[in-house]
Amino acid sequence: MTSEGLADGPETYTVTVVDSYDLLSALAADAVSETLANRPGAALTLPTGDTPLGMYRELVRRIDAGELDFSQAQFFCLDDYLGSTPDDEASLTRWLKQVFLDPARLPEANVHYVPTAAADPQAAAAGYDREIAACGGLELAVVGLGPNGHIGFNEPGSGPDDPTRVVDLQPATRAQSAAYWDGKADIPAQAMTIGLGTILQAKRIVLIVSGAGKAEIVQKSLEGPETTEVPGSFLRRAGSRLEVILDQGAASKLSPRQ
């Protein structure tokens, strides 16, 4: 495992490169455990997708073993498809409940669902940001990185000040999402996501990326110019509040560091 601070303006963020997916997952789980040890009622958001599955398994193991108290956490779902509910088969919230929230036994009152089924989605999205603020803001945001550089569903075109809002999904993102249900689900053309502006206000941000298939977008996000075409590039604005955890494959196109 290698870890180093990288300069990006007056502060630095850290990049840790690990030899295995299991270690990547354990380090991500450590970030959650440390956050809740310091502030048991902290507000946090965690991602969906293949990469965080190992983190969720490790968190559930720690909860079952009595090593982690998740019962007071205020959990804010990161994103979901517009119009979906946790009862829908193709719902990221339903996926998250099955994979983590239910096994973690987090009280329903502590789970804040993205208001994707609201009659006025834009107003509801603004209200979701107010809910986060009322909890003191996000103490921790663990996020993944999409093949096109999206963070949550902040697709290319998203900027660093964007709030929680309704977004149009690119065809590639919809195809990737359909793969979670073996291509059988009808993925909506729009979604609601916590915005980059809200994520960048988090006190701690952990980006986890696994696999050589993400190496190019990792390189663009960490070494390329800041651009709305690669939303992940804006994470560097968090400076020392940003921690990047990569496996060898995901880090394979980064420039050699001294």
Which residue of the set 58, 129, 139, 155 is catalytic? 155
Which residue of the set 58, 79, 80, 162 is catalytic? 79
Q: How far is CA 214 from the centre of its chain?
A: 15
Residue matched to tokens 């909860």: 63
Give the amino acid at 187: I
Choose among 198, 192, 193: nearest CA to 238.
198
Q: Please compute, for residue 39, the number of CA atoms within 13 A of its CA located in the half-sphere on the CB side.
A: 15
Structure tokens at 87: 């009862």
Tell me whether residue 150 is one of the annotated catalytic residues.
Answer: yes
DSSP 204-220: -EEEEE-SGGGHHHHHH
Structure tokens at 22: 């299991």
Which residue of the set 150, 154, 162, 243 is catalytic? 150
DSSP 78-96: -EEETT--TTSSS-HHHHH
DSSP state of 173: H
Tell me whether residue 79 is one of the annotated catalytic residues.
Answer: yes
| Number of Cβ within a 10 Å radius of residue 141 | 31
Give the amino acid at 160: P
Which residue of the set 30, 110, 148, 229 is catalytic? 148
Q: List active site positions.
A: 79, 148, 150, 155
